Structure 1
Amino acid sequence: MIRSLSRRNLLSSLAAIPAVALLAACSDSGEKAEAQDVKPAAPSDPTKPAEPAKPAAPAAAKAPEAQGTVDMTAVLKPGALPDMQLGKDDAKVTIVEYASMTCPHCAHFAETTFPELKTKYIDTGKARYILREFPFDPSAEAGFMLARCSKENYFPMVDVLFRQQANWVGVNNTKDALLQIAKLAGFTQESFEACLTDQKLLDDVRSVQKRGADEFKVDSTPTFFINGKTYKGAMSIAEMSAIIDPLL
């Protein structure tokens, strides 16, 4: 459960967040690969020249196993905050991601998988993508609040905060680090503090998180709901494609 913080101490709390606070709730989708049995090569015939090795064909990615199912009609009902969406409403595939701004696995997905997911499926009208806030700590709450205050620049702000995660998560003074990033995005000192002292926005962000946990059993990030199936952990574009392609 997220510790309740009032608007009076959210800003001050950002100045002293433990470096590893609450990041354990992030999950990792990867399983350790098992070593393959290796057999020694047969000795070559010295009377015949060796043939050049042929490159192995890339193995097709296997779709990760779903961790459960969910009623997408219920998932897509409006919540405390309007959904932030990319893609067409009538796309055949709907992807809802619950993420935390301080989760390293969420940042890894945002940097390594999402750009190609957007190009291959979202921009082409095949899928729509919805990002929902699931903060585990005050720093993540602040990051999402700044993204919401960016209005039409919500997704660019999220992208910057994920890419700059190492520069503001777990540092000595998170408030100052976030302020420097926010200024590059057009915030002033005044608009920055006004955003992070907006009690209604803070309550709404927490409400999105609480609804995800209570109604849809989200307990780690990133968690994805894709056309009624639940997937936990950051996935590669090959894994995402293996899930999405059969749905098209």
Structure 2
Amino acid sequence: MIPTRIPFHRHVLAAPLALALAACGGEESDMPANPGEPITAIEAPEGTSWTETVTVSDDGGHVLGNPDAPLKLIEYASHTCGACAAFATQGKPPLKRDYISTGVVSIEQREVFLNTFDVVLATMIQCGPPERVHALSDEVWGNLQQVMSGVQQNGEAIQAAGNLPIEQRFVRIAELAGFLEFFAARGLSADEARICLSDANAIETMVRELDALAQEDEVTGTPTFLLNGNRVDGTQWGAVEPALQNAGARPAE
């Protein structure tokens, strides 16, 4: 089911509830491709690649690709959302290979917080340098069942951790859920993660600001895609690719 609204930020900062992986999104669009006038590819600066270029937008999202791309795709996504994981594993590879690589398309990732675990995971993903955000997000989505297995196994202790002061709460949840070990194996040390997870002011600011963006764009489910400000009618690659082609994107030759 698509949630009828994105939870208010105070809800996701409260004690965690028992988790059922979010069955988000909806049916994939069957809209046929109707390619528009093609946009000429834009070369990356010498020695660089658009598929490895990450910048932070004015709204705090992480943009993969040419920051000045004429086609700007925004994805509102939750790290505990199964439909988001499906797009990351099935749609992100061809998106990067065929479209972002041309410099014509960029994708900006914006967090949606459906539960406390989204807050913990997003904090850890953003704890390192910006250029690692998309890669770490894809690691989480590509291994979602493994990532969340500790939550299922330690639900009672994690629920109790929700009563700790906020400076301790997210660190303890990450410890109990096994998130620290998962991220340590991917380059974020446990000590670095603990520092980020104990920064209550930074976490509250992140959640408040990104929740406000989702509310402003009337996001009611994840993933939600906007292309140059217009909502894409669908949640998976089969809907996103036709929208890109209709706007003038073409696969890399």
**Alignment-mate amino acid for residue 120 of structure 2:** A
Aligned twin of 2:138: 159
Whether contact under 8 Å (2:64, 2:106) holds in the other structure is: yes
Query: 1:171 aligns to what?
Result: 152
SS at match of 2:67: coil
Paired AA for residue 28 in structure 1: G
Amino acid at match of 1:30: E
User: How big is the alpha-carbon RMSD for the aligned residues of Structure 1 and Structure 2?
Assistant: 2.8
Counterpart in the other structure of 2:239: 239
Task: State the number of aligned residues.
Answer: 198
Q: 1:99, 1:125 → 2: CA distance?
A: 23
Q: Which residue of 2 aligns with 1:18?
A: 18
Q: Which moved more, 1:182-191 or 1:96-105?
A: 182-191
Q: How high is the TM-score relative to the length of structure 1?
A: 0.70
Higher Cα Rg: structure 1 or 2?
A: 1
Q: Does the 8 A contact of 1:29 with 1:232 survive in 2?
A: no
Show structure 2 runs of 5+ residues with no match: 1-6, 35-55, 155-172, 249-253
Greater displacement, 86-95 / 168-177? 168-177
Confirm or deny: 8 A CA contact 1:91 1:127 kept in the other structure: yes
User: What's the offset of the Cα at 1:168?
Assistant: 2.3
Q: Which amino acid aligns with 2:185?
A: L
1:146 to partner: Cα distance: 0.7
Do the aligned partners of residues 97 and 208 (structure 1) sit closer, same or farther apart at CA in structure 2, a change above 3 Å counting? farther
**CA shift for structure 1 position 145:** 0.7
Answering whether residue 83 of structure 2 is matched by residue 105 of structure 1, we say: yes
Aligned to 1:4: 10
CA distance in 2, matches of 1:114, 1:167: 20
Q: What amino acid is the match of 2:205?
A: D
Contact in 1 for aligned 2:127/2:196 (Cα 8 Å): yes
Separation in structure 1 between the aligned mates of residue 233 and residue 200 of structure 2, nearest angstrom: 31
- The answer to whether the 8 Å contact 2:74/2:227 transfers is yes
Shift of 1:232: 5.6
Question: Structure 1 regions of 5+ residues with no counterpart?
Answer: 34-60, 65-75
Distance verdict in 2 for CA 1:5–1:195, change over 3 Å: farther
User: Is the Cα–Cα contact under 8 Å of residues 86 and 130 in structure 1 kept in the other structure?
Assistant: yes
Summarize the Cα distance change of 1:233–1:177 in structure 2 as closer, same or farther, 3 Å threshold.
Answer: farther
Structure 1 residues 213 and 241: alpha-carbon distance in aligned structure 2, compared to 1, 3 A threshold: closer
- What is the DSSP-based 3-state SS (H/G/I as helix, E as strand, rest coil) of the residue aligned with 2:72? strand
Give the SS at the match of 2:99: helix
Q: Are the equivalent residues in 2 in contact too, given 1:133–1:205 (CA < 8 A)?
A: no
Secondary structure, counterpart of 2:226 in structure 1? strand
Residues 194-203 or 140-149, more deviating:
194-203
The range that moved more, 195-204 or 105-114, is 195-204
CA distance in 2, matches of 1:63, 1:205: 37
- 1:135 and 2:113 aligned: yes
Inter-partner Cα distance in structure 2 for 1:181 and 1:117: 26
Between the aligned partners of 1:211 and 1:125, the Cα distance in structure 2 is 29
One-letter amino acid of the counterpart of residue 192, structure 1: A
Return closer, same or farther for 1:63/1:207 CA change in 2, 3 Å cut-off.
farther
Aligned residue among 30, 37, 53 for 2:28:
30
Residue in 1 that maps onto 2:205 = 204
Structure 1 stretches of 4+ with a deviation exceeding 4 A read none
TM-score normalised by structure 2 residue count: 0.69
Instruction: Find out whether 1:114 has 2:92 as its counterpart.
Output: yes
Change beyond 3 A, Cα 1:111–1:6: closer
- The residue aligned with 1:55 is none
Percentage identity across paired residues of the two chains: 23
